[in-house]
Every structure is written in C-alpha cells, then in structure tokens.
Amino acid sequence: MPVANYDNYCRMLDRAREGHFAYPAINVTSLTTANAVLKGLAESKSDGIIQVSTGGGAFASGSAVKDMALGAISIAKHVHLVAERYPIYVALHTDHCQADKLDKLVIPLVEETEKRRAAGKPNLFNSHMFDGSALPLKENLDISVKLLERFQKNDLVLEIETGVVGGEEDGVVGKASDKLYTTPEDTLEVANRLNKIKGGRYLLAATFGNVHGVYKPGHVKLKPKVLKECQDAVAKKYGEAARFFLVFHGGSGSSIEDIHEAIDYGVVKMNLDTDMQYTFTRPIVDHMFRNYDGVLKVDSEVGNKKIYDPRSYLTLAEIAMAERVKLAVTELKGVGTTMYKA
C-alpha cells in the first residue's frame, strides 16, 4: 500500500483507540531499518508508524552533510517507493524536536509539504512531534498552537509532550523530577488551548514515569493511572469527544501489564527505539564473533569476501529487527488489524 494519506492516518488513530490497540512507532535511520519495519508490520498484518529523529535524519543525510531535514526526506521518499509492495498502511512521522531544532527539522519539512501540496503532490510526512516539554507549559503551548494552526491547513498531525520523559535519547538527557508525571491540570490546559483549533489533530505524549533508553527492572516506576486521571479530567470538563490520543514514549523494557493498561487509557502510539537498536546490532555481533577470521584479514590472509560483505550481516540484522517489530505488534494487540483489504 502507499503511505497512509491524512484520512487513512486519522482513521488508523481512531480505530486504535476504539479497538484498544496501539501502533508501534519505530525509529529508523537507514534503508535497512526502514525495510525491517515494513517487513515486520506486513508479516503481522498490522499498520504502523515509521519515525525519524533529529539525529536519525542527520545520520541518514550522510556524515559530510548532516542535514536532519534532508535525511528525513530521503528516508520518507524511500518508504513511499517501497511501501507499495507491502499489504499494510504505514505512516511517516518525525520524533522529538526541541524548540531550538524546529528550524532545522520540522519547519523545513512543513515548508517542503507546503511546496508539494501547491504542486499537487501528496504529503511526504503524516505527522511531526514538537517537544516543548523542557519549556514552561505556557511557552510549550504557545508554540504548539502556532504549529497546529499551520499543520491543520496541510493535513499534518501534531504530536506534543507535557511532562518530561527521563533518560537519554539522541544525546538529549532528561532530568528526573516530578515532571516525570504529567498532571491533569496540565492536560486540561492542553485541551483548552489546542481544541480551539478547528480541524486540528494532535497526539499527546503525557508522561507517566517514562524513561528513554533501557534500564534494569525496578529502575522505572511507571504509573499508567496518571493517564486515566488526565483522560477522566478532560472528559469531565470538555466532554467524551475531548479524550486524548496518547503516545507512550520511553517504552523500551516496559512490562506487558503496564503497556496494556496504558492502551486501555487511550495510548494509540508507542515509540520503540532502544529495543530496536539492540535487536538490530545483536546478530551483527554474533556474525563478527563467529566469523572472526572471515571478517578480518589476519596474518596477511585475505579474509572472506562473502563474510565481510555488509549485506551478509545487515540482512541478519534486518530479519532480527523485523521479528522484534512483530513482537511489538503482538504486545500492542495489533496483529491482524490492518485496514488494508486485498
């Protein structure tokens, strides 16, 4: 299927919340990792989300260029080309973009979308995240309102964050504090500001003790009930229709019980990065250790071309990552839920 258009993407989100399942949103940085996600989703008969971070975009553009928007466009174009061969819908999203990086990632991508639309071409991306969680809530929402007004005109969905996700992702280190738990007051203010924008659609990453990266069990104290409190507060004040579409960040290493509870409270998108990174690298490590004298030219030997050809171990990595995507879909209760009809 082609990449989901705006209507399909909105329908994906609606179906997930109604049907109590969620989409894995997987960070990719290359053709191989993007292909792994498509393979895993297709084999699960599940739709899903491919996302690119600021660092992922910079990486994809090449170490000599390091242009995060250009790299994100490059990955998006690849996904548009190959997605046609997979019997599922995929949406394209960009991950955490802090206020100081908006001009390097989100704004150039929105400009690109505006140019494409003016030329009668479809959007490359479905949604972008603005991460203003490090700012005071008012500033966070002032920027979010401006973005959502512009996104609404361009069939783009906005993702925002209140509270702070702990841990480290892409070199950005979150601080541990009570902001690790979003409050109902904060999310009421989100609804107050953003729901006024007619036709605007947004996702909310409300934090409930989430931590980026992966930690030994017991390190993270997730409290999914925080999400329920926020949803109950917003439904009480603004009506059932105002319930949020929530995003689960820092989900690597979470227990299945916490994941399912979060889905019951309206999580429709769960970000997966760290677990995927490890899963991708694991078989490569195995390959190198097992084939030590094939990948290296030791003692004036010539090595083994078949073994050091990057395709040999990158294929293993792709297959392993696709399997991890399938596990994620299962944990998120999404198996067989694709909207695609053959």
Q: Of 158 and 295, which CB lies nearer to Zn ion in the complex structure?
A: 158
SS3 135: coil
Q: Of 169 and 229, which CB lies nearer to Zn ion in the complex structure?
A: 169
**Phi, psi (rounded to 5 degrees) for 246:** -100, 155
Q: Of 39 and 249, which CB lies nearer to Zn ion in the complex structure?
A: 249
SS3 162: strand
Smallest separation (angstroms) from Zn ion to the CB of 286 = 29
Q: Of 249 and 287, which CB lies nearer to Zn ion in the complex structure?
A: 249
Active site residue 47: no
**Phi, psi (rounded to 5 degrees) for 142:** -60, -45
Smallest separation (angstroms) from Zn ion to the CB of 54 = 12
- Beta-carbon neighbour count of residue 236 at 10 Å? 12
By the 8 A CB rule, do 22 and 248 touch? yes
Smallest separation (angstroms) from Zn ion to the CB of 249 = 3
Stretch that binds Zn ion, among 9-17, 111-119, 217-225, 247-255 (CB under 5 A): 247-255
Give the CA distances from residue 165 to residues 168, 173, 248, 275, 323, in Å, rounded to whole numbers and listed in that order: 9, 9, 10, 17, 27
Strand-pair category, 166-169 with 172-174: antiparallel
Under rule CB under 5 A, residue 93 binds Zn ion: no
Give the CA distances from residue 299 to residues 293, 304, 306, in Å, rounded to whole numbers and listed in that order: 10, 14, 19
- Tokens in use for 88? 């599922």
**Phi, psi (rounded to 5 degrees) for 140:** -55, -50
Q: Of 207 and 279, which CB lies nearer to Zn ion in the complex structure?
A: 207
By the 8 A CB rule, do 263 and 251 touch? no
Q: Of 71 and 166, which CB lies nearer to Zn ion in the complex structure?
A: 166
Stretch that binds Zn ion, among 59-67, 74-82, 245-253, 320-328 (CB under 5 A): 245-253
| Residue nearest Zn ion, Cβ-based | 249
- Tokens in use for 293? 């004298």
Smallest separation (angstroms) from Zn ion to the CB of 169 = 6
CA 253, CA 240: separation in Å to the nearest integer? 32
- Tokens in use for 45? 């008969």
By the 8 A CB rule, do 37 and 284 touch? no
Stretch that binds Zn ion, among 29-37, 85-93, 228-236, 248-256 (CB under 5 A): 248-256
Smallest separation (angstroms) from Zn ion to the CB of 282 = 22
Of the candidates 7, 47, 95, 299, the residue annotated as catalytic is: 95
Smallest separation (angstroms) from Zn ion to the CB of 56 = 12
Q: How far is CA 275 from the centre of its chain?
A: 13
- What one-letter code names the amino acid at 177? S
SS3 207: coil
Stretch that binds Zn ion, among 72-80, 221-229, 243-251, 317-325 (CB under 5 A): 243-251
Under rule CB under 5 A, residue 39 binds Zn ion: no
CA 55, CA 96: separation in Å to the nearest integer? 10
Q: Of 98 and 291, which CB lies nearer to Zn ion in the complex structure?
A: 98
Smallest separation (angstroms) from Zn ion to the CB of 212 = 6
Candidate residues 201, 249, 269, 324; the one interacting with Zn ion per rule CB under 5 A: 249
Stretch that binds Zn ion, among 66-74, 141-149, 249-257, 277-285 (CB under 5 A): 249-257
Please identify every residue annotated as catalytic: 95
Residues at the site binding Zn ion, with contacts judged by CB under 5 A: 249
